[in-house]
Structure 1
Amino acid sequence: SKPLEVLGIEVEECPASSTLHFLQTMPTMLNRPMGWITLITLPFMGLTGPRFDGFTGLLIQFYQPAGWALPLGNGIFWIANSLFWIGYISFCVGALNCLPVAPLDGKYVFRDIALSGAGLITKDEERRERMSNAAVHALALLLFASIVFLFIAPYLVHLHR
């Protein structure tokens, strides 16, 4: 619908109820392949349904920084947008990484890079293999520890209270 202009102020309907309904039905949509396609294309949909661009334009006017975010001012919206896109890209990379295709599997790509790097240090094939395997295992352990930390950290914050 076209915005209504009164005394130099444009008034436009905010599709909050339809957007809220769409977001509430997202979990049930994930039972079908089309639901996953919708989730992957959510930031780009626009023409076919609700679109989430992050905290931009009109949406920023509905929120104010509060609590710990107050000193950040409107910078909190930049942080929220950055985290949204980082999460979105991580989701897509994770979905791609689940495909059983060796060239797209991050472990194999990292192992090949580590093997090439180890080749700069030594020419002994067995030692290069051990070095690249150690690098792959160290990265896997670091990723596992960071996932565990995501679950433990909220409880650690409250220990000092």
Structure 2
Amino acid sequence: GVKGYPAYEAGMKSVEVLYSINGTEINNGSTFFLAMNKTAAGENVVVEYYRYENGTFENRSVSMVLADKYEYYEKYHANKNDEEFRGKGFIGLSTINMGINPIPADYYPHRLAHPLSSTKNFFFYVALPFAGLSPFPDGFTAIYSTPLPSSIFWPLANTFYWLFWLNFAIGTFNVLPAVPLDGGYIFKDGIASITRKIGRKMKEEKVDRISSSVTTIFSVIVLLAILAMLVIPRIRALLA
């Protein structure tokens, strides 16, 4: 929860499984936002959720007075604010699409156990950190049985996953068309091959000069793109 806002002040923690707001069933992010859009700032709502504690899920209920969504966005994310937010209730929570979803119990284990069975499964596997599922949170690990004690299995699973992820990230970075990466040299050889086919009588020195120039241009573009991804969000954060 966001510090200073209703959910945080009511004692809610991360990885709570929220399932009801004022009696409205919440089973995914969409139903959560739909329910919140029906509320107003200053309204008192009852939130029901499960908390994983001491190895079990505890059913909890808490009452809270909603903040103003417009005021929150104006303060923290002014560039994303919208007049439609004015007067809307704001609870101060972010969600991930897990919760009490109407999906088979083996949905996540199947995808995690067979990441190469389909393109969708592979991208799901790679994107776990962005979905808040790596390292696997307690509320997630408590749902499934494991072949080893949980205190051993899940740390091992997290360790091996991050070894895979780091290798995947390094490998992907290495194929970028920028020298001195391997992808840059492959790209350069490809440009040289195309240049030779276009100019069959062209001297090798000129072919090499053209391929080097094109590769250098692409290398600079790749470098600028990476720097932009790193720098621009920070500049926006400073200006917000």
Q: TM-score, normalised by structure 1?
A: 0.41
Q: Which has the higher contact order (CA 8 A, sep 6+)?
A: 2
User: Greater helix percent: which structure?
Assistant: 1
Which is greater in Rg?
Answer: 2
User: Greater strand percent: which structure?
Assistant: 2
Q: TM-score, normalised by structure 2?
A: 0.29
